[in-house]
Amino acid sequence: MMKTTTRNLLSIAVMVWVAIVIASCGGKKFRVSGTITNAKDSVLYFENMGLNGAEAFDSVKLDDKGTFAFEQSAPEAPEFYRLRIAQQIINIAIDSTESITVKADYPTMSTSYEVSGSEDCAKIKELALLQMNLQAQVNLIANTPELGMKAVQDSVQRVLEQYKNNVKMNYIFKEPMKAYAYYALFQTIVLGNVNALIFNPRSSKEDVKVFAAVATSWDTYFPKAERGLNLHNIAIEGMKNIRIAENNARKTIANDKITVTGVIDLALPDNKGRIRHLTDLKGQVVLLDFQVFATEGSLKRIMMMRDLYNKYHSQGFEIYQVSFDPQEHFWKTKTEALPWISVWDESGSQSSALVQYNVQSLPTFFLIDRNNVLQKRDIQIKDIDAEIKALL
């Protein structure tokens, strides 16, 4: 009798233990598997692209076949991951218990992979390829020597707007609740040395609307998702920044900031430590340049400035160049050989000069005549040489 009871108790205990194990392993999972050829002995990382950056979830050292398989708990709302070998990356979106298959060849896996099992992942691949093509177009424009600075800016802006309109209509507004729509919001492009958002909710009213559209959709479909809340915060902060900028633009400049010559004076230290006043240049034609040297396009811009200076300085032309670079030493090393007036504003992007001159983006410049009256800004100028000659 005792043996039977003990045996029964043991059986019950085993059954309970099995049930617990099954329950603990029975959560919803997603799976990402496939092959990456020509990557023998390379380490393939599977990383979660969270709001705070990349976090490695798993990794595997690939053999000559290149097969891999990663499995993780399914997220409650769309989440983003990536497969990475060194700097080669494949972006993955997960919104349920998908089984996604990826086939690629190293070292071109970022551009030549195949993905199946997820519409989001297929759309993300399309967006990634579009983004690479955009970057190639921008690089080509920036490196075309016969284009002047203004032509480069106009051409880059034109291809950016075309790209944004395409992505807005065909990817974001089409299905704003989808993971690929969220992914599109945070695509970036390198302009100079700066990696900038293509959709900029900090300064563009239209781009804020795009963020708000996705945020509203995520509110409906994923009401407690952290990413949705983050989108809301970004949109609200963007609206606030734009209101401030618009209010500043409407403000009239105080009388004590305007000299009788009709230009807002600037008094900043040059690279020799002397305070240089913009209004002291009355009697000369002045190109007032707002510049950031820590950008790739800066060198081409300086070459253009040097050409203008060499041609017209002897006739009464001067350049007053304001740097908003964050490091004074860096600015000094970049300007020590320049022949014109180079000054530094330690306030950087928070400078009152940017507000007073209603500067929305850097770099930019203005032309001031011999009477110290501001005549035109860069967006109004098609032929800089002709404009300078007319003022001289």
In a domain? residue 38: yes
Kindly report, residue by residue over 3-54, the tens digit of the pLDDT: 444 444 444 444 444 444 333 445 789 999 999 999 999 999 999 998 888 8
In a domain? residue 371: yes
**Residue reference for tokens 């990402």:** 32
Other C-beta atoms lying within 10 Å of the C-beta of residue 219:
16
Sheet containing 29-37, strands listed edge to edge, beginning at the edge strand earlier in sequence: 67-73, 29-37, 99-105, 114-116
184 and 144 in a single domain? The answer is yes
pLDDT at residue 255, as a whole number: 44
The β-bridge relationship of strands 317-323 and 285-291 is parallel
In a domain? residue 351: yes
235 and 320 in a single domain? The answer is no
* Mean pLDDT (whole number) for 260-269: 74
259: confidence class by pLDDT, cuts 50, 70, 90: very low
8 Å CB contact between 111 and 129? yes
The CATH number that applies at residue 302 is 3.40.30.10
160 and 96 in a single domain? The answer is no
Query: To 10 degrees, what angle do helices 298-312 and 384-391 make?
Result: 30
Answer yes or no: is pLDDT of 250 > 70.
no
Distance separating alpha carbons of residues 319 and 313, to the nearest angstrom: 9
237 and 341 in a single domain? The answer is no
* Mean pLDDT (whole number) for 350-360: 77
**Residue reference for tokens 């804020």:** 208
Query: For 106, how many CA atoms within 13 A lie in the half-sphere containing its CB?
Result: 23
Task: Say which amino acid occupies 178.
Answer: K
Kindly report, residue by residue over 99-150, the tens digit of the pLDDT: 999 999 999 999 889 999 999 999 999 999 999 999 999 889 888 878 777 7
pTM for the structure as a whole: 0.61
241 and 294 in a single domain? The answer is no
Mean pLDDT of the chain: 84
298 and 338 in a single domain? The answer is yes
**Residue 103 domain boundaries:** 29-117
8 Å CB contact between 175 and 181? yes
In a domain? residue 294: yes
pLDDT at residue 208, as a whole number: 87
pLDDT at residue 245, as a whole number: 62
Domain boundary residue, one of 117, 145, 176: 117
Kindly report, residue by residue over 136-147, the tens digit of the pLDDT: 998 898 888 787
- In the chain, the largest separation of any two C-alpha atoms, in whole Å, equals 117
pLDDT at residue 246, as a whole number: 63
